[in-house]
Each structure stands twice: as structure tokens, then as C-alpha cells.
Amino acid sequence: MTKSFSKKQIGLAVACALALGMLSGTASAQVPAKDAKYVADSSGLIIMTASGLCVHNGQGPAVAVQPCDPAPYVAPMVSAPVPPAAPKVAALAPPAPRPVGEKLTLDADTLFDFDKATLRPAGRDTLDSFIGKLKDISPETIMAIGHADRFGTDEYNQRLSERRVATVKAYMVSKGVDSGRIYTEGKGETQPVTKAGDCLGAKSAKTIACLQPDRRVDIEVIGTKVAQ
């Protein structure tokens, strides 16, 4: 602790310090007074009272020295906090391929003649084009459904539709398509494309030509797109 005094007080303090020194002894700090601006003894060293106080000489602010002033506070060194390591993020797996669909409708004008289940040359060309599209798809299921027009009995047309779809499957298998992926079904005349009243009349060349869209095989492929 350091006190500041006037000249009159300094004189009194010096006198008291000397008096106390005579009674109880004085102590001198081992620091030259000229560096600290404290009252000094004949040796130029700072005089301390018996109680351990230094007396300022009133010439200006004292320089902080030991033992008159405590050592200045030095803040402890604090290391900068180390940021936590970023959590490792597992690499995301690529998304699974999305299913895609490919559908082709093959009518009798391309595939079959009237009342026939034998592929025409134009029908084979159409199937070849369709099979070529499968190179871009990994097929999971291939559904082929045969149809017939309204001429003939229900039983006859059911068998005819089954024969037609069987012919299409056999051709596709011969071109390398997995037979286990192909499912076939015959619908007979139950699912015509023509509307009621479109092809009226008896069995004539005109009516037969009008009913051509009903004599068909529908093929639908479900699979995944092949990455390019």
C-alpha cells in the first residue's frame, strides 16, 4: 500500500520514521529511492517504517517497486480453446435406381392377320425395335397380354388371344430375353379398344378392318434404368 503526503506531512513522516527507527529500528528497501521517489536514508535507499510502510516523497507518482508495492497482477496465460473435431459424416450411399416403365401396344395389323396367331414380317420388325429398347432397362417384369376381336365365340377368342401372346413370348425369348421375366395372359375379346357402335355390321372386310385395333398384344416392361 502506498500513501501520498504533502511536504509538511513528509517532514513529520520522516521525523516519525527516524523516531520509530530509534525506538524500534528502521528498515531500508534494497532499492534506490531515486528510482521510486520514496523517502530515502543516507545511503539513498528507501526507508521503511517498523510496520513495513514506505513513505512517498511527494515528488510525483511512485514507481511500483518491491517491497513498497505489491507485484503487479499478471493474468494467467490461458490457452485458446481447441475446437472440437468435426464429427465424421459417413459417405452417403448413392440413391437406389428409380423404377421405370416401358409400354408398347402391338396391334393385329402389325403382328397378326385376321384369325391368325403367326407373326407377320412387320410384326417381327416391331418386336425387334421393342427388344432393342430393353438394352437401356434392366427388366424385372415383362407382362404380355393377348387380345382378340368380337368375331367368334368367347372360348375361341380366349384361346386365340393366348396363342397370340405365346407367339410373342417365344419370339422375345429367341432374341435373348429371359423367359422367367415374361408373364403372359389372354383376355379374349373382353377388353376391346374400339367403342360400342364403332364397327357395326356382319363379318365383312370393312368390319374386320375396323376391328383391327382389338386384335393386339400389349407388352409392358417394369424395371430400372441402366446407368449410362
- Mean pLDDT, rounded, for 151-178: 94
Percent of the chain with pLDDT over 90: 25
Label each residue of the chain as H, E or C.
CCECCCHHHHHHHHHHHHHHHHHHCCEEEEEEHHHCCECECCCCEEEECCCCCEEECCCCCCCCCCCCCCCCCCCCCCCCCCCCCCCCCCCCCCCCCCEEEEEEEEECCCCCCCCCCCCCHHHHHHHHHHHHHHHHEEEEEEEEEECCCCCCCHHHHHHHHHHHHHHHHHHHHHCCCCHHHEEEEECCCCCCCCCCCCCCCCCCHHHHHHCHHHCEEEEEEEEEECCC
**CATH of the structural domain 99-225, one choice from 3.30.1330.60, 1.10.3720.10, 3.40.50.10190, 3.50.50.60:** 3.30.1330.60
pLDDT at 201: 87
- pLDDT score at 153: 94
Question: At 145, which amino acid appears?
Answer: I
pLDDT-derived band at 20, boundaries 50, 70, 90: very low
pLDDT over 90 (residue 38): no
What's the mean pLDDT in 61-84?
60
Residue 160 has a pLDDT of 94
Q: Is 207 exposed, middle or buried (0-12, 13-18, 19+ CB in 10 A)?
A: middle
Alpha carbon distance 46, 62 (integer Å): 12
More confident residue, 212 or 171: 171
CA dist 103 and 112 (Å) reads 19
Residue partners of 71: CB distance under 8 A and separation at least 6? none
Residue 162 has pLDDT above 80, yes or no: yes
Tell me what pLDDT residue 182 has: 93
pLDDT at 77: 64
Q: Which residue has the higher pLDDT, 146 or 31?
A: 146
Is the pLDDT higher at 215 or at 1?
215
pLDDT at 19 over 50: no
Asked whether residue 106 carries a pLDDT value surpassing 90, the answer given is no
Amino acid at 83: P
Cβ distance 62 to 31 under 8 Å?
no
Max mean pLDDT among 31-35, 102-106, 156-160 falls in 156-160
Q: What is the pLDDT of residue 21?
A: 43
10 Å CB burial of residue 104 (0-12, 13-18, 19+) is middle
How much is the pLDDT for 138? 80
pLDDT of residue 37: 63
Q: Where are the domains of the chain?
A: 1-71, 99-225
Q: Does residue 61 carry a pLDDT above 60?
A: no
If one compares 116 and 79, the residue with the highest pLDDT of the two is 116
- C-alpha closest to that of 147 among 181, 113, 193, 205: 193
- pLDDT per position as a tens digit, 114-157: 888 888 888 889 899 888 888 888 888 889 999 999 999 999 99
118: left (phi over 0), alpha (psi -120 to 50) or beta: beta
